Amino acid sequence: MTEKEKCAAGLLYNANYDKELIQERIACKDLCQEYNGLKNSDTEMRYELLRRIIGSIKENICIEPNFWCDYGYNIKVGENFYANHNLVILDCAIVEFGDNVFIGPNCSFYTAGHPLNAKQRNEGLEYAHPIKVGDNVWLGGNVVVLPGVSIGNNSVIGAGSVVTKDIPDHVVAVGNPCKVVKKITEQN
Annotated catalytic sites, by residue?
114
* Phi, psi angle pair for 102, to nearest 5°: -120, 125
Q: What separation in angstroms does the CA of 164 have from each of 25, 61, 110, 151, 180? A: 25, 27, 11, 10, 12
